[in-house]
Each structure stands twice: as C-alpha cells, then as structure tokens.
Amino acid sequence: MLRFLHTADLHLDSPLKGLQRYEGAPVQEIRSATRRALDNIVQLAIHREVQVVVIAGDIFDGDWRDTHTGLFFSRQLTRLVEHGIRVAMIRGNHDAANRMTQTLRLPEGVKLFGVDVPETIDWGDLGIVIHGQSFADVAETRNLAMEYPAAVPGVFNLGLLHTSLTGSEGHDNYAPCTPDDLRRKEYQYWALGHIHRRDDVTFRDPAIVYPGNPQGRHIRETGVKGCVIGEVENMTLRSLEFVEVDVFRWERVEVDLSDCVDTEQMLQNVDEHLAAILNEHAPKPLAVRVELAGNTTLHRSLAAKFQAWRQEVLNCGIQVGQDRLWIEKVQLRTQDRDSQTQESVGEGPLAELWSEFARVQQDEEVWTRITEAIEGLRKKLPTGTDQSLAWLDTADDGARAEFLQKVQTLLAGRLLGADAT
C-alpha cells in the first residue's frame, strides 16, 4: 500500500504586521506557529510511515529574505529524507517572489518541479508518478493544467498544481482552470494549493483536493487547519484522512444580545460563548474576534461608551481564557430595538434627518469626504489609539451602514432627549 501526505501554503515565517499594537497579543506564539505546524507535519509523516510528501506551493511568503527561514525548511526536508520519505514540491505565487526558492540547495531525494513546462517524476518502485509545474511569475494567469501530460498507464498518477480553479473569494485568480480540465488528464489525484480552506472538490475520478493551509495566520483563516494523508491500493485511492497539525487557532464568536435586559447579562453571555469556543478547541490556544450582535435595547449605551464596554469584554477573555485565549478585536454590530424609523417619525426635523442619512448612504461623493475626514482624524491620534476606531474602518464589509447607524442612533438620542452619553 502507498501512503502519501499532501500539504500546501505553509507560508513559513509569514511576517505578521502590526501585532505589537494589540495589548496582550501573544506575538511570539503566533510568529512561531507556521514553523511548529511544519514540524508537526514532518513528525506526522514519520510516525505514519508515509512514503511520499507532496507540497503544492507557497512554502515561503513573498519576498521574505530571512535566511533562517530557508535553513529551517532545509532541516525539515532533511529529516524526511533521512527516514526514507521522498518529497515532491512546486513553487506557488508567493514562492515566485521569494529569492530563497531560487537559491536554496535542496537535499537529495527532494524534487522541485521547474517553471518552463510541466515535468514528470516516475517513482515506479512506489507505484506513483507525479506531474507538476512551478510558477515562474507571481501573477501566473495561464491555464497550466492544459499542458500537463496524459496519465501514465499502470501506476497511480498524481498532479501537483497551485491554482484557484475557477476562482475563490479572497484569493487571486492564478493558474485558472476547471475541474473538467483536470479530469481530462485521467490522473487519480490532484494535489492542489493556493486556497487556504480545506476542500475536497471531488473524491473520486479523480480526487481533487485542497488541504488548506496547515496554520491559520490571521482572522480571515479561522478554524481547524491541517494536511491530508491518502492511502492507495491497486492504483485506487482507498482513503483520505484530514489530520490537524495547527498549534494556534483563530475564530469569530457572535454574541447575540437580543434577549439581554442589562449589561450584566450581556457580559455573562460573552463569558458563556468564550468558554464554549475554548472548550471546543481545547487544548489549542485561540485568538478570537468577538462580534456583539442583535436587535437590543442596549445598543445606545454600548455605542455611546463603546471603549468602556470593549474593555469589559477583553476582561471576560482574560478571566475565561486561562492563558489560552486572546481577544483580537471586539466589534459592535448591534441594532437599536427602540430606534425610530423614517416612517414612524412623521414630519419635522427628525424626518429630515432620516432622509439625509438615507441620501448620504447612497452618495459616493459625500461618503468619500467622510472617509477622508476619518483618515485625517486617525493620523492625528497617538500610536495605538487608532484601534479604538476600528469600527469606523470603511474597508470592512458593511462598515458604511454600521457607521451611519451608530451616528444616527446617537443623534436621535440627543434630539429625543435620550441618555446617549
């Protein structure tokens, strides 16, 4: 039986910018996570006695020139080779921008596919043939799969490719192709990279698999991360197992405040959600983004004194977390249950205010001026203070509506004589 391990998108020593701005951030733990995840992959390959490891690109992270990163990777490859494990790998878009991939001498027993044309390595003694091609440039827009050779009869054919397939949100559309392009090659397995989420596009005829990246690096890479191990018998993929290898996880927690009658109940609700997510991922340490949501009577007081309540939520993380949980950010996405609608206010100044808010939300010129004013304000603030304005970030999805809704609530509270301060 042939056993292989498929991983991709290691992004070793990915530079994590701006972490120092966050109080209490486990900077060293996060920075070392990609290395420790690779160490786990190597340990797993040795322990499970796999014969082949395939790496589907993005080993490094852009033009990251720390030579220690390359030396660390070389040591891990050497460990695999010393245990009789063969390695086949390709360069992805991030590797194409990295000088280390072009100068690092690899141990014997490691195959790095070239950039000019697809290549094939025949490990017939193991019953496997691997086809692959590396990226020559950062932005590879050609359909590389079209030039891959036809399957070699009588052995297990594995295609190694760094691609977005038909496109994926949050990822550049590199080496685009369709699943049908891959099927036409009649390989038994396509080991893909580039998309950082695990996805078995198909499991049979052929298996087309993204293992996802083995270690999440920020809040857009949430959940369990790992690699896959495949077992092959008589040229057929008998099993495919996802194995966790990550050492630090990122998660989002939405806390619905719709039923909360006071802030004490709100904080208890936060505690319960944090305890649940901590237990779900035990014993892994977590970075969590807390989103306060729901239609609630607490909205005005939370919006008016957000920084004070943000500190209370951070304190929940400290008390619940037992040194395993760090709250990366607190976002306020609540709505005011008692807010006035344009229909309910009738005529007069408040109705005019509601009409103006509706107009501003659709007026790109006005919104551009608001954005420029916000950015000007941020630049005048001391270093680190800009994090308190994270909910004004106009680059976030839905930030425009959220920003206007907060301002609208505060102004309405003042006009109606409500206690919004």
Residue 236 CA to residue 249 CA, distance in Å, equals 34
Confidence of residue 193 (pLDDT cuts 50, 70, 90): very high
pLDDT tens-digit series, residues 382-416: 655 544 454 444 444 456 666 766 676 666 656 65
Q: What is the mean pLDDT of residues 271-292?
A: 96
pLDDT tens-digit series, residues 134-175: 988 777 888 889 999 999 999 999 999 999 888 655 556 788
Candidate CATH numbers 3.30.200.20, 3.60.21.10, 3.30.1490.20, 3.30.70.1150; the one for domain 2-244:
3.60.21.10
The single residue listed with the structure tokens 């990163």 is 69
Per-domain boundaries in the chain: 2-244, 249-415
Does residue 4 register a pLDDT over 60? yes
Nearest to 336 by CA among 271, 411, 397, 281: 411
pLDDT tens-digit series, residues 224-262: 999 999 999 999 999 999 999 999 999 999 999 999 999
- DSSP per-residue codes, 141-189: -S-GGGGSPPPPTTSEEEEEEE--TT-BTTB---S---HHHHHTTT-SE
pLDDT tens-digit series, residues 315-355: 999 999 878 999 999 999 888 876 655 455 556 666 676 66
Residues 299 and 334 sit within 8 Å (Cβ to Cβ):
yes
Q: Quote the tokens at residue 141.
A: 């827009």
Angle value at C-alpha 255, between 252 and 257, nearest 5 degrees: 160
Confidence of residue 24 (pLDDT cuts 50, 70, 90): confident
